[in-house]
Homo-oligomer: A and B are copies of this chain.
Amino acid sequence: MARIEYPAAVIRLIDEMKRLPGVGPRSAERIAIWLLQNPRAEPLALAASLQQAKEEITPCPQCGFFTSGGECAVCDDPAREPILCVVEQATDVLPLERSGAFKGRYHCLGGKLSPLDNVTPDDLRIGPLLRRISEGAGTEVILALGADVEGEATANYLASLLRGRCPVTRIAQGLPAGGGLEHADALTLARALEGRRDL
């Protein structure tokens, strides 16, 4: 008796699904079968959107955010203030935009310093950042990096590079909005105390 498996094309689809972040073997099988069986599924529309996004989307040559050709919508916006906000990833741009609290432009580093992962300053878009600043892109640089060890190290490194060239600030660390003290860890509380402000 032959050992039965899915046809090769189904196995290939499951394997590709398994590679996606957060999709385990069981979800991959469930998604693949759903795509093939559910009348509401449109696998060809998904395939077309993958191809279109892969072909069209490139990093903005200035800031590294997503664009479908030329400079991105932020760099291209003449109403932006001359302030540069340095973030780790292109995916950090939209959360800041949605906050409504920043009206300048961005600079995506493409990562953070991490000796353990072999990420050195040469791997980050630091040269382009210095070029933009020397070309007058910002009268202030805000470092909006993560509050983890690598974010700290990257912020300190950039601050030492930029000192004397333009004012450098870093976004505050403290209690998250809506968070009570009982849910905050000791380090968050220590930083919230350090960053206290006059009322």
Interface residue ranges, A against B (CB under 8 Å): 1-10, 12-13, 15-17, 19-23, 27, 29-37, 40-54, 56-57, 66-68, 73-74, 77, 79-80, 89-91, 93-94, 97, 103
Q: Can you list the 10 inter-chain pairs with the closest CB atoms, starting with the nearest?
A: A47-B47, A47-B50, A7-B68, A1-B79, A9-B53, A43-B50, A16-B46, A13-B53, A9-B56, A13-B49
Distance to closest chain B CB from A96 (angstroms):
10
Give CA–CA (A14, B40) in the complex, Å: 17
Give CA–CA (A41, B34) in the complex, Å: 22
Contact indicator A73/B4 (Cβ below 8 Å): yes
Contacts of A68 in B (CB 8 A): 7-9
Contact indicator A36/B79 (Cβ below 8 Å): no
Given contacts A4-B77, A16-B46, A44-B51, 9 further A-B contacts (CB under 8 A): A2-B77, A4-B73, A4-B97, A6-B94, A7-B57, A8-B68, A19-B46, A32-B53, A50-B50
Contact indicator B5/A49 (Cβ below 8 Å): no
- Interface of A, secondary structure class, is helix
Q: Known A1-B77, A66-B7, A97-B4; judge A53-B22 contact (CB<8 A).
A: no
Nearest B-chain residue to A106, judged by Cβ: B4
Q: Known A31-B21, A35-B20; judge A52-B4 contact (CB<8 A).
A: no
Among A2, A45, A103, chain B packs the most CB atoms within 10 A around the CB of: A2
Nearest B-chain residue to A12, judged by Cβ: B49
Contact indicator A37/B90 (Cβ below 8 Å): yes
Contacts of A17 in B (CB 8 A): 46
Contact of A10 among B1, B6, B41, B66 (CB under 8 A): B66
Contact of A36 among B12, B23, B57 (CB under 8 A): B57
